[in-house]
Structure 1
């Protein structure tokens, strides 16, 4: 701090005793710019270190299970799944509210406005499915932070002497240095805390067994009413939660899961299916006539140990599923 203020004091002395010659004026301005640049570089390096520490800490936290706290992590689980009940005409750039909320961990989703607001910084995945009317198409988009802020500042310039200009620059420089020095000290303290927290998280980390599966269906054919669809061609089954003989996934641990299924219809046929949790509907998907069409459903849902999720036929017994590895079912644990 003493060295910092001594630099400013010397600068002020040089400025007040400066002759008006252009060469000396340019020299002082160059020195001022050099001082500002050097301090800015130091601050940016510290800021980059701060960003890397936060990223590394978030990565460690996202992978760990704290010892003795495996049922409920100290971090807040964030995830939501909502559906829309009402059909109707959409206005220009109308926000679509999905008012039927199944899960809303972390309370980030607002069904009244249809917005998800991130409660913490991090990497997120979002998915949406829309189904058009029989005679109409529909065009939608997913957006982030729609809104723009424009600031216009008008000002007038005036002729000032070179010495007055330098004094004004010194005042600005003093303010900039004070501001940067305050931010620098705050970042140093924050980085120290982040390093301690990162070391603590690494020391206490216990990586859990990965839980997730991905399976496809090989045989095509006619589906019976409410027939469970077995996806018997299993590619991955970490944690052994998926039973290819029954077509059911059984949660080995409680937590927030994501599931996805894709169905593919035969020529001249449509197919209508649903995903269920313990027999209760989570969402529907329709691959319509004239066939060779696909439909995908993504669901985020909290499961307790022993809860089951599967895909079953929802239409009449005359519908046909085109499998041949086109239709699939997958899921994975997001967070405990």
Structure 2
């Protein structure tokens, strides 16, 4: 139950408290007045129940984290990777994976909840090299995102893409190269460099 629904429940509790006080106070009114207040209270409670039900239906994602955390993951690349055409990028260091949805063996995120997701990828490129990387859903020719770095850039550069996509339970998302290229990893230089290249995603709304 979300905060708004809880507020209505608390309001209903206050109405109950008011009516009990009204009935216990013999000076407050006669039997007709008490009966009137009880009928009014029954109506208010019925309205509150409808409001709570509507709020729960309008916010299905509010219930996702009750028994399980919402899907979210982040993985980084520990070593530089030579990528061939259509090969998946496997980010081998898992920083976060709340629902064990990221497959570190294949670099693939698999949805466990129907809903709308945000995915982000940042790749570091070597000086003078070109990167063409796509983010795909379920199959290589179903591109949902793209990262590009041109070989005219003489320094080390980072390129990032962020996408919003709807997934069904069992859908897969991963990164793959359009053509051969080199992706820079941390190569054991230090903690800050562990985020040269990374891939992440999370659920923002279930349905």
* 1:281 equivalenced with 2:143 (yes/no): yes
* 1:254 equivalenced with 2:114 (yes/no): yes
* 1:332 equivalenced with 2:193 (yes/no): no
- 8 Å CA contact 1:270–1:291 kept in 2: the answer is no
- 8 Å CA contact 2:120–2:162 kept in 1: the answer is yes
- The 3 A distance-change label for structure 1 pair 282 and 291 is farther
- The 3 A distance-change label for structure 1 pair 207 and 302 is closer
- 8 Å CA contact 1:274–1:285 kept in 2: the answer is yes
* 1:310 equivalenced with 2:174 (yes/no): yes
What is the TM-score with the length of structure 2 in the denominator?
Answer: 0.63
* 1:57 equivalenced with 2:4 (yes/no): yes
CA distance in 2 between counterparts of 1:226 and 1:58 reads 48
CA distance in 2 between counterparts of 1:58 and 1:212 reads 26
- 8 Å CA contact 1:220–1:320 kept in 2: the answer is yes
Structure number with the higher strand fraction is 2
Which residue pairs with 2:94 in the alignment?
Answer: 234
Output one character per residue of 1:205-263: Cα deviation in whole Å (capped at 9) or x when no partner.
Answer: 74532210011011103211111000111010011111011100011111111100011
What is the TM-score with the length of structure 1 in the denominator?
Answer: 0.40
Which residue pairs with 2:76 in the alignment?
Answer: 216
- For structure 1, the residue ranges without an aligned partner over 5 or more in a row are 1-54, 61-191
CA distance in 2 between counterparts of 1:305 and 1:246 reads 18
Match of 1:200 among 49, 52, 60: 52
Which residue pairs with 2:132 in the alignment?
Answer: 272
Which residue pairs with 1:43 in the alignment?
Answer: none
Q: For 1:57, what is the secondary structure of its paired residue?
A: helix
CA distance in 1 between counterparts of 2:5 and 2:183 reads 43
- 8 Å CA contact 2:5–2:52 kept in 1: the answer is no
Which residue pairs with 1:138 in the alignment?
Answer: none
Q: Which runs of structure 2 are paired with 1:108-187 in the superposition (5 Å)? A: none
Q: Which runs of structure 2 are paired with 1:31-42 in the superposition (5 Å)? A: none
Deviation of the 1:291 alpha carbon? 4.3
CA distance in 1 between counterparts of 2:155 and 2:87 reads 20
CA distance in 2 between counterparts of 1:259 and 1:58 reads 30
Tell me how large the CA RMSD over aligned residues is: 2.9
The number of aligned residues is: 147
CA distance in 2 between counterparts of 1:334 and 1:273 reads 25
Which residue pairs with 1:67 in the alignment?
Answer: none
Deviation of the 1:58 alpha carbon? 8.6
Larger relative contact order, structure 1 or 2 (CA cutoff 8 Å, min sep 6): 2
Structure with bigger gyration radius:
1
Which residue pairs with 2:161 in the alignment?
Answer: 297
Q: Which runs of 4+ in 1 moved over 6 A?
A: none
